[in-house]
Amino acid sequence: MIIPAIDLIDGTVVRLYQGAYDKTTEYTFSPFTLRDSYAKAGSPLLHVVDLSGAKDANKRQIALLTKLMTDSPLQIQVGGGVRREQDVMDLLAAGASRVVIGSLAIREPELVQCWIRKYGGERIVLALDVAINAQGEKTLPSHGWIEESGVTLEQVLDGYIAAGAKHVLCTDISKDGTLTGANVALYRELSSKYPTLAWQASGGIGSLADIQALIGSGVAGVILGRSLLEGKFTLEEAIACWQNA
C-alpha cells in the first residue's frame, strides 16, 4: 500500500529534514486539499503527523485534526504528541482509523501494550524510528527524535508482539527527507525477522525506482511525504508502480 503523508506545524504543511525542527520546509498546500486529492488518486489511507503536538503537548492541534478527519474521504492514521490514554480516546473519537504512538511506545512500553490489548492491534500504529549507530545497533530516539532513549528496536518488539501489535511504522532517520532512497536492507531484515507485523517503510523515497526497490522487501506500506509535495512523481504513478510489480 502507498500511504501519502502530511506533517503539520501550527496548521501549516511542512517537512522536516531528518527530524530536525530547525530544518523545516513549509508548503503552501492546504491539508484539506491534499487529503482530498490523495483520496481522488486512489489512496485508501493517509498518514498525518501533528509535529506541534510532538514537540509540545500543550500545542496539540486536536481541533484541526478533528476537522481533517470528520467526513474524510479516506482513512487516516494520526500521531504526534500522544502521551495519555485520553489522547488515544480523543483521536479515535475524532475519526482516526489508527493512532500512531512514537516516544511513549519507547519510554513506557507496558502502558502502550495495555492500550493495544484494550483497543486492539488494528487501532494502534507503533512509530519505532531508528538511528543506526556505528555498531549497527538500531537505537530508538524519542520525543520527535530530539532525545536519545538508549533503547534498541529489538528490545521493545517482543513485548509488543505478545500484546497483539500489528502495525509498525519504521523510519531510518538518516534517510528522512533526503530523497536518496529507503534503507531496503533494513526492511528486508525486519520483515523477515518479525513476519507477524505489518511494516510501514518511511524515509528517503525520491523516485519511482525507490518504490520499486521496496517491492519484495516484505513491507506492507510505503509512506510518501516530501517526494509528493515536491512533484518528484504523482501519487497515481506511485500506486501504479506498487500495484503493477
Q: Count of H helices and E strands in the chain? A: 11, 12
36 is catalytic: no
Q: How far apart are the first and last CA of the chain?
A: 12
**CA 116, 193, 243: angle at the middle one, nearest 5?**
85
Distance CA 217, CA 181 (A): 14
129 is catalytic: yes
Q: Which three cell numbers stand for residue 111?
A: 502502558
Given the residues 10, 36, 50, 129, the one annotated as active site: 129
Instruction: Name the DSSP class of 197.
Output: S
Scan for cell 506541534, then name that residue.
52
Given the residues 7, 87, 172, 176, the one annotated as active site: 7
Number of other CB atoms surrounding residue 84 within 10 Å? 12
Scan for cell 509498525, then name that residue.
168
What is the chain's length? 245
- Residues annotated as catalytic are 7, 129
